[in-house]
Amino acid sequence: MPAVEALMHESLGAAPNQKGGAAMAAHQLLAAGGHRVRARIALDACLKLSVCRSDATILSACVELLHSASLVHDDVADQSEWRRGQRSVYSTSGTAIAVCTGDLLLSAAYGVLSGLSDVDKLGCLLRLVHVCTSSAIRGQCAEGVPFVAGDASWSEYEDIVIAKSGALLALPLEMALTAADHEDHVVTAQKATKAFAVAYQIMDDIQDRDVDCLRSPSFNALLILEAAGHGDSAAGIASDFAKFRLTEAIEAASLLPNGSGDLLTELAEVMLSEFS
């Protein structure tokens, strides 16, 4: 992971202490840390699939830079004041710099791929990044459409979560499997990560329910269930959905080759214990 962190900063093309602008904001966001779930999944899967260490570092940095870009743009859309325990780029620098910062991180994600040793894989991997980014954008746009109370179905909720978050969680495994010539397992990886993404979002929604009810539009699992007439039972129903999806994620991840889904399984099991 230290090599991944160093590569992400290097990819921004400007010194961390450079005053003002998108580059400094991007360096500060990366320095604030985070769980690095996507980078860790990519790194673990790559090494278990015998992808060379330098390429594993590149793919891990790529997926984490993409995720960071989505966070900055998400904060602009939601007008969020805080991110990773510090003021968001949007709140400190305004919309224009925040949009540019997200764009820089997105561009850097493509840029790091230029260092890949296996150039024959570059075309496939670039397409994967584009498909993932397109899905996340589609999900973000759908989330921004105001919901009429009672009109949002659970299937619509899951579809949006899978588009917005599922793609960014699937990409680390998809890239690792593709780099290791295991493309035939990509569909299984997608099944596992989509299920995990839904459960992860439900947990986040349970924690943010009181804050989200003050926002309009509000995209929250509990509020959707409450609007559908479930009232006080909404949290229990949402938790049951999450546990079902986590079980599904664990089962699918266990089918991936060489234990490449083990870290996702571990994360899902931790979440399952928290719900229990």
What CATH number did the domain enclosing 131 receive?
Answer: 1.10.600.10
Is the pLDDT score of 129 beyond 50?
yes
Residue 3 is encoded by which pair of tokens?
Answer: 């090599």
Q: How far is CA 73 from the centre of its chain?
A: 13
Same domain, yes or no, for 101 and 133?
A: no
Q: What is the dihedral angle through the alpha carbons of 210, 212, 215, 220, rounded to the nearest 10 degrees?
A: -140
Q: Which residue has the higher pLDDT, 20 or 84?
A: 84
Same domain, yes or no, for 110 and 182?
A: no
Q: Which residue has the higher pLDDT, 274 or 208?
A: 274
Mean pLDDT of 23-35: 91
Is the pLDDT score of 59 beyond 80?
yes
Task: Name beta bridge partners: 83.
Answer: 86
Same domain, yes or no, for 134 and 110?
A: no
Q: What is the dihedral angle through the alpha carbons of 84, 195, 219, 174, rounded to the nearest 10 degrees?
A: 60
Q: What is the dihedral angle through the alpha carbons of 243, 245, 247, 249, rounded to the nearest 10 degrees?
A: -140
**pLDDT given for residue 214 in this prediction:** 65
Same domain, yes or no, for 17 and 6?
A: yes
155-203 confidence digits (pLDDT tens): 888 898 899 889 999 999 999 999 999 999 999 999 999 999 999 999 9
* Number of domains present in the structure of the chain: 2
Same domain, yes or no, for 42 and 131?
A: no
Contact (CB, 8 A) for 27 and 16: yes
Instruction: Place 16 in a pLDDT band, splitting at 50, 70 and 90.
Output: low
**pLDDT given for residue 149 in this prediction:** 47
Is the pLDDT score of 36 beyond 90?
yes
Instruction: Place 215 in a pLDDT band, splitting at 50, 70 and 90.
Output: low
**pLDDT given for residue 128 in this prediction:** 94
Same domain, yes or no, for 57 and 156?
A: no
Question: Among 97, 117, 137, which residue terminates a domain?
Answer: 117
Instruction: Place 152 in a pLDDT band, splitting at 50, 70 and 90.
Output: low
Map residue 50 onto helix, strand or coil: coil
Same domain, yes or no, for 94 and 165?
A: no
Is the pLDDT score of 223 beyond 90?
no
Burial class (CB in 10 A: 0-12, 13-18, 19+), 126: middle
Domain assignment of residue 173, given as a range: 118-276
Question: Among 94, 117, 140, which residue terminates a domain?
Answer: 117
**pLDDT given for residue 146 in this prediction:** 56
The mean predicted confidence, pLDDT, of the chain is 89
Same domain, yes or no, for 257 and 138?
A: yes
**Please, what is the Cα angle at 60 between 28 and 123, to 5 degrees?**
120
Question: Among 70, 89, 117, which residue terminates a domain?
Answer: 117
Share of the chain above pLDDT 70, in %: 91
Q: Worst-scoring range by mean pLDDT, 16-25, 70-79, 248-257?
A: 16-25
- Return left, alpha or beta for 72; rule: phi > 0 is left, psi -120 to 50 is alpha, else beta: alpha
Q: What is the distance between the terminal CA atoms of the chain, rounded to a whole angstrom?
A: 31
**pLDDT given for residue 151 in this prediction:** 56
92-101 confidence digits (pLDDT tens): 999 999 999 9
Same domain, yes or no, for 154 and 19?
A: no
Same domain, yes or no, for 122 and 207?
A: yes
Same domain, yes or no, for 126 and 154?
A: yes
Same domain, yes or no, for 169 and 274?
A: yes
